[in-house]
Structure 1
Amino acid sequence: MMENKTTEQKFRQQNKPVKEHLKELFAATREWFSALLDLQHGLSREGTIIAIKNNKRMRGANAWMLMCSIMIASLGLDLDSAAVIIGAMLISPLMAPILGIGLAVGINDREALTISLRHFTIAILIALITSTFYFYITPLGQPTSEILKRTSPNLLDSLVAVFGGLAGIISISRKEQSNAIPGVAIATALMPPLCVSGYGLANGNWPVMLNAFYLFFLNSFFIALTTYIIIRLLRFPFKSHLNEKDARRTRIIITVFSMIIILPSAKILRDLIVFQRDKEKAEMFIDDHFEENCIDFSLVKGDTSNQLVLELLGRSITPDSLQYFNDLLASDYNLENTKLSFVQDNTLRLEKINKMQLELSNLGKIANQLESANKIQSAQETQITELSQKIDSINAISIPFKSIGDELKTIFPKLDEVGFANVEKSVFEKETVTIPLFIVRWNRNTPIYQRRNDEKKIYDFLIKRADLDTLQIIAY
């Protein structure tokens, strides 16, 4: 009876509908992904709160570390060295107050929020004073590429802060903490823009200062926002309980503030994408009409329109042609807001001409060096060929000719004379080969049919006796 039930159960399992199998597969997959993305495992809520609160105060060692890291980052920006900037990020304590703000909002701790905001402000002041002082006294102070990268903030830049803040709060919330990697990720979005703000202050360049500080503030906000979201997802306990009205007001404030922060960066990103597309169209225009004459170009962005400046060599543009090309930009390349201007031969910058002459001179030198190298290589190949021929002649086939000749005379008495030599043979298209050559002279009284039979026997005898692969016999 039991055996029948077991058999029946097995039969039912084997004949389950496909729908049930798919449900089981979906449930197993969902369970696997839940375990893979589970942040509750290894979570230490109390340890997270203590770690952030202990490090959020910007005083003592933290203040000194921040000053040192800002000074190193400023040096990296001034020297245009990404490696030095990354070195400054490794020691930066700048992320602690921002994580403290996100934590305080997430657990509704108003006292911690006040302390975090105060020390965040202190950190900003320390960074601005240090970087401004450096860029005020530096003998360099030029706008390097590393500085210019931080003057055009857009929405994509904030992604560094989002994922940096995500890595930071997840790492700090573990029982086994590791702050190095998220520290670098967060500092990437914070330190350089703040140092560039100091550069703008030191040089009185307010657009640079404001753009860089906006990038810093944008990234700081997203780090705090990411921290707040993770704190709530991990269900950290509130310090003081929120009623539904206060919770709704907090969500509204965060949403509105997020939109206010995001909108300018979204507009900048849109303008950047449009400008990049215009630049690609300008390159297509140059390739179609000035490929052989244009030595350089630049697309200058203006408030109301852009200007495409072409530097030409060996071609003059008349005013009528200028109007024609402007119309062509608008009609064929959709660049209605772009005006064309030319820098022609007589107004080319002297340094660019010198640079071109230097490049041409270098190309001539390289060509001469290649020609000399080809001649040397040809001479070496000729010498190698001659040496190979000498080696072949040295390694030519040698046989005990005297004894072989005596044996041939004994076997074939009609032979009057035998000769031997190594002969070079060429079929022109193929390589030259060396083959052994035997010359035999028969007695005049030897019949022709006997010669033919004996010559075949001589061939077989020499192949075996002299241990040869091939040979040639000339008989007369």
Structure 2
Amino acid sequence: MLEEFIRVNKFDQAYLPILQKKLCFEGECAGNGILNYGVLLTLATIISTYGVIAGSTATVIGAMIIAPLMTPIMATTLAIVLGDTHRAGRSLIMVTISTVFVILLAALLTCSISPLAIDFQGNPEILSRTAPDMFALYVALASGAAGAFAVSRESVSDSLPGVAIAISLVPPLSVVGISLSKFQWGDASGSFLLFLTNLFAILPELGIS
């Protein structure tokens, strides 16, 4: 039964070119793809930052759904699996730039409403992201596996919005930016640790799938 499941669900090599086109911004539509990525990342950061500050779970979930940061992370993993150092390096650079961008934009947005007091001790959206534990690692590993499975199989790609919610990449970075703008170094480091936990949980999974 297990052998049958593996055989039926093994990766279809014919899907590889489509997967590479989906994850790597290449070809004639590369410029368009990067522009769309930048717009979505900016909007996701704005929604996430203000949602976190307001303590609105629904708003933060909305930001998770539209956040495209998982794409270059998955592209990095795919390139590593294929031994394509050029694509891996380029995708990793995009992940790094995106990470810095989200943190800086979140900090700037927080500074723009500086008179507003932020309750770092009572805001549940901040508290849930500043002290990651082993359960956060387990969730990240399972979410990363689900994301790799969904993105590598066209028939289950409809599950990606749910995976994006579970993985949660942009909200922790928003909390980093919010915390840095208010000189809350401990909260910033804790939230960045959560982001790294999610990041490194995703990276190996596409190779396994």
What is the TM-score with the length of structure 2 in the denominator?
A: 0.85
Q: Which has the higher contact order (CA 8 A, sep 6+)?
A: 2
Residues 1:105 and 1:42: Cα distance change in structure 2 (over 3 Å)? closer
Q: Displacement, 1:155?
A: 2.5
SS at match of 1:167: helix
How far does residue 197 in structure 1 lie from its aligned partner after superposition?
0.4
Match of 2:203 among 224, 246, 265: 224
- SS of residue in 2 equivalent to 1:165: helix
Q: Comparing both structures, which one devotes a greater share of its residues to helix?
A: 2
- 1:136 counterpart residue number: 111
3-state SS of the aligned residue for 1:123? helix
Aligned-pair CA distance for 1:220: 0.3
Q: Distance in 2 between matches of 1:45 and 1:122?
A: 26
Deviation at 1:199, TM superposition (A): 1.2
Displacement of 1:35: 2.4
CA-to-aligned-CA distance 1:320-349 (integer Å, 9 cap, x gap): xxxxxxxxxxxxxxxxxxxxxxxxxxxxxx
SS at match of 1:93: coil
CA deviation after TM superposition for structure 1 residue 81, in Å: 1.3
Q: Does 1:36 align with 2:11?
A: no
Secondary structure in 2 matching 1:90:
helix
Return the match for 1:124 from 99, 103, 107: 99
* Alignment gaps of 5+ in structure 1: 1-31, 231-476
- C-alpha RMSD of the superposition: 2.2
Structure 2: gaps of 5 or more residues: none
Counterparts of 1:58-69 in structure 2, within 5 Å, are 59-69=34-44
Q: Which of 165, 187, 206 is the equivalent residue of 2:144?
A: 165
Q: Which residue in 2 is equivalent to 1:416?
A: none
Alpha-carbon distance in structure 1 between the residues aligned to 2:190 and 2:153: 36
The residue number in structure 2 matching 1:53 is: 24
Give the letter for the 1:215 counterpart: L
Aligned to 1:81: 56
| Equivalent position of 1:106 in the other structure | 81
Q: 1:145 aligns with which of 124, 136, 142?
A: 124
Alignment of structure 1 residues 57-456 onto 2, 5 Å: 59-138=34-113, 139-143=116-120, 144-176=123-155, 177-178=157-158, 179-186=160-167, 188=168, 190-230=169-209
Deviations 1:366-414 (A, max 9, x none): xxxxxxxxxxxxxxxxxxxxxxxxxxxxxxxxxxxxxxxxxxxxxxxxx
Q: Distance in 1 between matches of 2:118 and 2:79?
A: 39
Per the TM alignment, residue 112 of structure 1 is displaced from its structure 2 partner at its CA by 0.7
CA 1:101–1:155 in 2, change beyond 3 Å: closer, same or farther? farther
Paired residue total: 197
**Equivalent residues of 2:152, 2:206 under 8 A apart:** no
- The answer to whether the 8 Å contact 1:76/1:82 transfers is yes
Partners of 2:118 and 2:73 lie apart in 1 by 30
